[in-house]
Copies of this chain bind each other. A is one copy, B any other.
Amino acid sequence: MPRLRLALAQTDPVVGDLAGNTEQILAAARDAAAAGADILAAGEMALSGYPIEDLAAQPGFLRASGEAVAKLAARLDEAGLGELVVVVGHPDGPHSPRLIGTSNAPTAIAQNCASVLHRGQVVARYAKHHLPNYSVFDEYRVFIPGDELLVLRIKDVDVALIVCEDLWRDGGPVGRVLSADAGLLLVVNASPFERDKDEVRLPLVTRRAVETDTIVAYVNIVGGQDDLVFDGDSVVVDGAGEILARAPQFREHLLIVDVDPEAATDTPLPDAVRRVEIDTDSPSDRRELGRDIAELPDDREQIWNALVLGLRDYVEKNRFPSVVLGLSGGIDSSVVAALAADALGADRVYGISMPSRYSSDGSKDDARDLAERIGLHYSVEPIADLVTPIEEQLHLTGVAAENLQARIRGMIWMAASNSDGHLALTNGNKTEVSVGYSTIYGDAAGGFAPIKDVPKTLVWELARWRNAHALSRGEVEPIPAASIEKPPSAELRPDQTDQDTLPPYELLDEMLERYVTQRQGREELVEAGYDPETVDFVTKLVDRSEWKRRQGAIGPKISGMAFGRDRRLPITYRPTR
């Protein structure tokens, strides 16, 4: 019989909602105990949600988190689940601040912890050592690093416990806890989705398992939280690099697996490693487990699923009843509408077509066709009679007149949002946002931008994939073929197309990937073989889009004087609303 039955709880926590997240873990514990598990592990910050940003600087929230951990331990015990060893991530504090400079400078007072609960008590606690501070992470800003390592001895197995980034650093805590001869490495994570991340994360987990000949159990949270989406994809890999179990992406799951790590020896502990003995009874009647190894779908399906979950969780976690968006008949609004329907059901999606004097009949037909295919709420508000009085009173021409049309449209869906409580969606894609081809307070108006990190060429790919996916399941294709095939146009003046003023999108997206995302300079683009004139044109567009944003002409950012940085309160920490 295998030595340990592990349960990994891939939950979708809500930032700040300690009560709701506690219920998720209790439910997972009930199921894990019913399945005969010895250990249940939830993800990093599964009790508080992740990232908690400036909540980490609020003493009141940290105290509430600490109480929630103690209460979870007590409730597990009361529910008869006290024998199950439960590992859960949460913020810990307030600790003495690293006080520096002016006394009112906000500074780290929290640690990023995983606590071990058993028989109604918190029996051990590990504080994350390596606090990532790059890309989307700002942990060093709000957390104090831990300085002690932890090994749990459970049923004669040494289980080393670390948090997320600790696994990624060469020469980090991993080596030291494993040289205490741990048989199992348990890693609790909040690791967000990126394109092709499965090509990095699983190999890393596998490499760590193989190089130390240890079973690695990697549990991740799942779900959308503002700009991030966590994909789950929790996995258990053995010392031979074999996958023993793998949870599906983008949904909650309890992954249960039997493992048979080597028994503990009495190697002396390395410095700064603490061992905690946990005396637990094995569940007596275990059924045999089936194999639970999810397959990853292809790249486009993964991205689609990420976008759907990110949008759904933004709507649900903020408790919006529904969404509203403008429908132009073009590819961007069509893809956003299809995403919204997949995320929320078509009945919670409100689309408004707002034809102007420059809208082609084709566009109007395509918008209606889309609405019918998807089955969303559809209305038409022509804008000509609204635009004309303003244009005439203000004597507008050129770009100012084009922007006016876009702003009247934004005003219409914002009015619908104000009247009926919809979340307003804005349809801009990454290419358009990068080069500044949008109107602030116009098509850029809205509270959430589902495809703001999707380049135009990928928007088309996703549309084709979604239609093919529908066909393969015998369903109606949601996106009209015409919206995919026709040349893209803003339709703000007669016979306008995007390619009048932009390089072909395939070329443009390649260049933006280098210039914006990979931070290459003009020189590197020219060296890579791109035409110098096109390089100048594109890099200027990007630089100038930032300038226009500053003027108030495009984009979402408003600058202004700030003599200090106030807290940014994640929305869901609202004990009284």
Near B by CB (< 8 A), chain A positions 174-228 give 192-195, 197, 200, 224, 226-228
User: Are A550 and B447 in contact (CB-based, < 8 A)?
Assistant: yes
User: Are B424 and A564 in contact (CB-based, < 8 A)?
Assistant: no
Q: Is A448 an interface residue (CB 8 A)?
A: yes
Q: How far is the CB of A178 from chain B (nearest CB, A)?
A: 19
Q: Is A521 an interface residue (CB 8 A)?
A: yes
Chain A residues with CB under 8 Å of chain B are 54, 57-61, 100-108, 132-136, 138, 140-141, 165, 168-169, 192-195, 197, 200, 224, 226-229, 306-307, 310-311, 314, 318, 320, 381, 385-386, 389-390, 393-394, 396, 398-400, 403-404, 407-408, 410-412, 414-419, 421-424, 426, 440-441, 444-454, 516-524, 536, 539-540, 542-544, 546-547, 549-553, 556-567, 569, 571, 574-577
| Given A516-B567, A539-B576, A543-B569, A451:B556 Cβ within 8 A | no
User: Are B394 and A136 in contact (CB-based, < 8 A)?
Assistant: no
Q: How far is the CA of A556 from the CA of B557 in the complex (A)?
A: 6
Q: How far is the CA of A58 from the CA of B521 in the complex (A)?
A: 8
Q: Report copies per complex.
A: 2
| Given A102-B200, A133-B140, A556-B556, A566:B447 Cβ within 8 A | no
Residue of B nearest to A314 (CB): B559
Q: How far is the CA of A539 from the CA of B575 in the complex (A)?
A: 10
User: Are B389 and A386 in contact (CB-based, < 8 A)?
Assistant: yes
Q: How far is the CB of A221 from chain B (nearest CB, A)?
A: 16
Residues of B within 8 A of A165 (CB): 100-101
Kindly identify which residue among B60, B307, B404, B550 contacts A318, using a CB–CB cutoff of 8 Å: B550
| Given A136-B564, A412-B394, A561-B452, A403:B385 Cβ within 8 A | no
Residue of B nearest to A557 (CB): B556
Q: How far is the CB of A57 from chain B (nearest CB, A)?
A: 6
User: Are A564 and B135 in contact (CB-based, < 8 A)?
Assistant: yes
Residues of B within 8 A of A553 (CB): 414, 417-418, 447
Q: How far is the CA of A441 from the CA of B410 in the complex (A)?
A: 9
Q: How far is the CA of A444 from the CA of B105 in the complex (A)?
A: 28
Residues of B within 8 A of A552 (CB): 414, 417, 423-424, 426, 445-448
| Given A399-B418, A419-B396, A560:B318 Cβ within 8 A | no
| Given A106-B519, A576-B522, A550:B448 Cβ within 8 A | yes
Residues of B within 8 A of A403 (CB): 414-415, 418
Kindly identify which residue among B61, B419, B550, B571 contacts A547, using a CB–CB cutoff of 8 Å: B571
Residues of B within 8 A of A524 (CB): 60
| Given A411-B404, A561-B452, A575-B522, A107:B136 Cβ within 8 A | no
Residues of B within 8 A of A549 (CB): 447
User: Are A452 and B571 in contact (CB-based, < 8 A)?
Assistant: no
User: Are B444 and A558 in contact (CB-based, < 8 A)?
Assistant: yes
Q: How far is the CA of A54 from the CA of B447 in the complex (A)?
A: 26
Residues of B within 8 A of A567 (CB): 516, 519
Specify which of A539, A542, A558 lies most central, judged by the most chain B CB atoms within 10 Å of its CB. Answer: A558
Q: How far is the CA of A274 from the CA of B95 in the complex (A)?
A: 36
User: Are B561 and A227 in contact (CB-based, < 8 A)?
Assistant: yes
Kindly identify which residue among B103, B227, B400 contacts A415, using a CB–CB cutoff of 8 Å: B400
Q: How far is the CB of A548 from chain B (nearest CB, A)?
A: 9
Residues of B within 8 A of A416 (CB): 394
Residues of B within 8 A of A140 (CB): 133, 140-141
User: Are B449 and A559 in contact (CB-based, < 8 A)?
Assistant: yes
Residue of B nearest to A555 (CB): B558
Q: How far is the CA of A9 from the CA of B441 in the complex (A)?
A: 43
Q: Which 7 A-B pairs have the closest CB atoms?
A: A449-B560, A447-B552, A60-B521, A452-B560, A424-B552, A556-B558, A400-B418
Q: How far is the CB of A192 from chain B (nearest CB, A)?
A: 8
